[in-house]
A and B are shown apart, each in its own frame.
Chain A
Amino acid sequence: MTSTNQRVIIVGGGLAGLAAAIRVAEAGLPVDLFSMVPVKRSHSVCAQGGINACNEVARQQGYSEYQHFDETIYGGDFLADQGPVLEMANWAPKIIDLLDRMGVPFNRTAEGRRDLRLFGGSLFKRTHFSGATTGQQLLYALDEQVRRFEAEGKVSKYEFWEFLRPILVGQGDQRRCVGIVAQDMRTMQIRPFRADAVVMATGGCGLIFGKSTNSVICTGGAASRCYQAGAWYGNAEMIQVHPTAIPGADKCRLMSESARGEGGRVWVPRKKGDTRRPKDIPENERWYFLEERYPAYGNLVPRDIATREIFDVCVNEGMGIDGQNMVYLDLTHKDPDYLTEKLGGIMEIYEKFVGVDPRYEPMKIFPSVHYSMGGLWTTFTPGAYQPAEPAGKHEPGMIPPVGTEVGQGMAYGAPNNMMTNIAGLYAFGEVNFAYHGATRLGANALLSCIFDGLFNGVSVVNYVREGVPSTQPAESLEAACFDEASSAEQAKYDGLLATVGTNERDEKFNPYVIAREMGEEMTAASTVVKTGPRLEQCLAKLAELRERYARVQLSDSAGWTNQSLSFARAVGDMLILAEVIAKAGLLREESRGSHKRLDFPDRDDERFGKASVAEFDPATGEHRIFWRDVQTNLVKPRPRTYGKVESDQKGKQEPVGSAG
């Protein structure tokens, strides 16, 4: 018999956490939802461009869910397990329908249907959008549904509560997660919470790189705490650098890929050091290098490629605007009203933060750290589609080798779907390493977040109702393990508070200074291009920072709303995750997707067609990295070129595919 008091904890109220909350609450299990900010202010609110799904118009031009799957796998350079990606692509149209029913104000065609736009890595319009604030609109729709469950008493929110660690019981095969320790960010109270399953939906880790396009709470601290408790971390080295952002003193603000999807062109003056205003430079003196090098995809090549080409043009060829790492993103050839209608949100951001109207002046943009493909390692149960031979490249118009019935790629409701290596501990959304391999295609993240919540939320319910918790519910366990975990966090907290005013304040031990140095080092060594020696140097620097962190000094001893303590605590966790990112990058001696090693320029499927998996050794504080096979039995790995034209054969090569 199942206990009537079973509960599920969801940590994180972005798209992934909210979608999971809806699914679990709908199934009748009470949910406790934790978030460091009111969930309506979660980072997902920043997403601009849109969300991908096959649709009727694209379908009649030869597109399919299967093609979406193939694009995602190819974009990710064959590093993602394929079953879950197939399942996600198959579900995508249903997810859009559901969001539509919830009232998301998607842009509309004249006939009142959902409008579509182009996005990177595809030749078909398959991206649904709501102006240029799609993430905000999707987050609000899910937030509203969760508020409804909250009003009905099915979801309890713990906003301004910080997750500190998962609570585990049992050893070996018996080990499972039975709750969390969390802290109220206002009263600073630390206490344990029991749960029969815990879903981590805590988003990305951009702050490890200092300035990124991420929000201020995207430290990766929560993921690192799970990692330190024994959860594996997968493909840490796969960090996406977005080609088009504008730098600020506090963060880099994204100029969405939708700008290029709506016709934006990237260029630099053909003449080095040209000081003319961009509008005075005639067409034939502009170098549209992406269009020249990638005739088929043009400005819409995947992000890692666009970023490296910009890097090449600016750093290797010295052709950046004003000699800096900066290129034009030009929309001035489009009708200003059209731009306001389709891209209003980002036009406003550029105007507000740069003071120039991009409808009339080309934008100046820079690459910036944006997204983590890596995350907590998760597993799944493969679906029904098991071809005798993996399929080759899927061309537009071909009949897909498999249908879209539920469960082709991943078994619906299997309790282990997107569960970490710790039973009862799940990872959904950006913190989950599945789906995006070595590069994420634009507008696939929102999809993977909501898919995780809706599809795999059922797995959580089944685990709780039919798995170990059904006979040994968390509420029946002895209090000791909960109290011990909580005391350990209390001791850590007390220890940090005790550093206030111990010595002269020394910059070396200032948590903000340590964080800044980490960000600068990680950005320099572990982003667009990497080399073995530079990564070794980075690891040495991180070791130094970890030593300094051991003597960290805080400047606020308040036992009330102590924000700097929360930040300083996260810095320690970020340093550990930074090491994993750098170390996995050092050991992956190949180039694949976003991971470009100058000393190993080619993809090496033999040695590295595998996921890097990191395991923490609490005794030594060291990381053990091992390699796990990637599921590639649905589509065969092929070279990922996006039809690049090498400079010696400019104009000779046929474009790949055909724009539908």
Chain B
Amino acid sequence: MGNGANSGGRTRNVVFRIKRCDGPGKPSRWEAFRVPVEPNANVISCLNWIAAHPVTMDGRPTTPVVWDSNCLEEVCGACTMVINGRVRQSCSCLIDEYAPNDGDTITLEPMSKFPVVRDLWVDRQRLFEGLKKVKAWAPIDGTYSLGDGPRESPAQQHVRYALSTCMSCGCCLEACPQYLKEEDASKWDTAFVGAAIISQARLFNEHPTGAILKDDRLDALLGVGGINDCGNAQNCVRVCPKDIPLTESIAAIGRAATIHGFKRFFRGA
């Protein structure tokens, strides 16, 4: 079970510049750490090293850096942060790619569109509230044994599977010029929901049982903070780590919403 990937070479060091903050309402500051790079190191293994050796480059003892992570294989979405100016998952960020030479620097910042909890850890609860707003679920008749679900062509499965890999990481929201930070939870309901949520609404509209709530979803997305807030800048799709076709989703929901809006108008609703 040994780690067979030891290159045998001398270890090199990488400098981490980290934007830190002790808690909501507290000022931010920068701290730098010199970290020896293990074979196959990623940003997380370096943060682990700092946690065990919390001393800055100029020899000042400090506290371990706080960050959010879980799966370490880019599938849970927890560890999103801004690395060298670009939003991405830190667990899949390999040091050999980002800082190939001795003494190279890597900069870590928390996402800017969410309230900071501490250091690199931000509060993304607004994202989960968005999922409630668009009723992102299939309204099944309970867990009784009622036979199998609807049949589905492989082509349709491909469409849904791609949308269903969204791990609520928030990259698309961080990159979106229309998605603004909102600390006040009472305003989340009227603030822009963002590309991830629009895409999830499409996912459930694409499922026969999910589609039962299609009108509710479109109503929600026609309202304040919905689809009309999207300026079509397409930044979202470029940063999504799962290559989710977000602009397609936005267009699809846009079309559906327009039709839905007309119907609503003629119904006099």
Contacts and interface: CB of A to CB of B under 8 A. Distances in A.
Interface residues of B, number: 72
With most chain B CB atoms within 10 A of its CB, the pick from A144, A249, A353 is A249
B71 A97 contact: no
Nearest to A513: B52
B137 A145 contact: yes
B48 A250 contact: yes
B65 to A, nearest CB: 9
Interface stretch (B160-168, B174-182, B231-239): B160-168
Contact of B39 (A147, A249, A367): A249
A277 interface: no
Contacts of B59: none
A393 interface: no
Contacts of A516: 52
Given A108-B157, A151-B132, A250-B44, A325 B2 contact: yes
Interface stretch (B101-109, B141-149, B252-260): B141-149
Interface in B65-81: 66-78
Interface string A80-115: 000000000000001011101111011111111110
Nearest to B131: A147
B1 A527 contact: yes
A402 interface: no
A369 B195 CA distance: 38
A563 interface: yes
B71 A108 contact: no
B63 interface: yes
B132 A147 contact: yes
Nearest to B203: A103
Contact of A94 (B69, B145, B209): B145
A108 B146 contact: no
A368 interface: yes
Nearest to B64: A564
A250 B42 contact: yes
A349 B154 CA distance: 23
A interface SS class: mixed
A108 B23 contact: no
B40 interface: yes
Interface string A307-330: 000000000000010101110000
Interface stretch (A128-136, A220-228, A261-269, A421-429): A128-136
Given A98-B143, A108-B153, A250-B44, A560 B22 contact: yes
Contacts of B209: 101, 103
Interface string B114-128: 000110010010001
A247 B3 contact: yes
Given A22-B143, A45-B71, A561 B3 contact: no
Given A144-B138, A325-B2, A368-B1, A23 B143 contact: yes
Given A249-B39, A250-B72, A563-B66, A145 B54 contact: no
A369 B66 CA distance: 27
B61 interface: yes
Interface stretch (A36-44, A280-288, A543-551, A625-633): A36-44
A241 B94 contact: no
A215 B143 contact: no
With most chain A CB atoms within 10 A of its CB, the pick from B45, B142, B161 is B161
B67 to A, nearest CB: 8
B70 A37 contact: yes
A512 interface: yes
A66 B1 CA distance: 36
Contacts of A367: 1
A170 B22 CA distance: 43
B109 to A, nearest CB: 17
A20 to B, nearest CB: 11
B71 A215 contact: yes
B167 to A, nearest CB: 7
Contacts of B187: none
A46 B73 contact: yes
B1 A523 contact: yes
A615 interface: no
A471 B210 CA distance: 41
Contacts of B143: 22-23, 26, 98, 454
B70 A352 contact: no
B4 A241 contact: no
A251 B79 CA distance: 15
A45 B167 CA distance: 9
Contacts of B22: 558, 560
Contact of B23 (A40, A98, A148, A561): A561
Contact of B117 (A40, A43, A454, A561): A561
Interface string A132-146: 010011001000110
Contacts of B136: 144, 147
B1 A325 contact: yes
A349 B157 CA distance: 22
Nearest to B166: A140
B145 A97 contact: yes
Interface in A534-583: 555-556, 558, 560-561, 563-564, 567
16 contacts: A38-B78, A101-B209, A102-B149, A103-B149, A109-B154, A114-B148, A133-B165, A137-B161, A148-B135, A215-B70, A215-B71, A248-B45, A251-B72, A324-B2, A367-B1, A561-B121
Given A108-B153, A247-B5, A555-B54, 15 more contacts: A38-B78, A38-B124, A38-B128, A42-B70, A46-B73, A97-B146, A100-B149, A108-B157, A112-B153, A136-B75, A137-B164, A241-B1, A249-B42, A353-B94, A558-B22
List the 7 closest pairs (A to B, CB-CB), nearest first: A100-B149, A324-B4, A512-B52, A249-B45, A144-B137, A112-B151, A561-B118
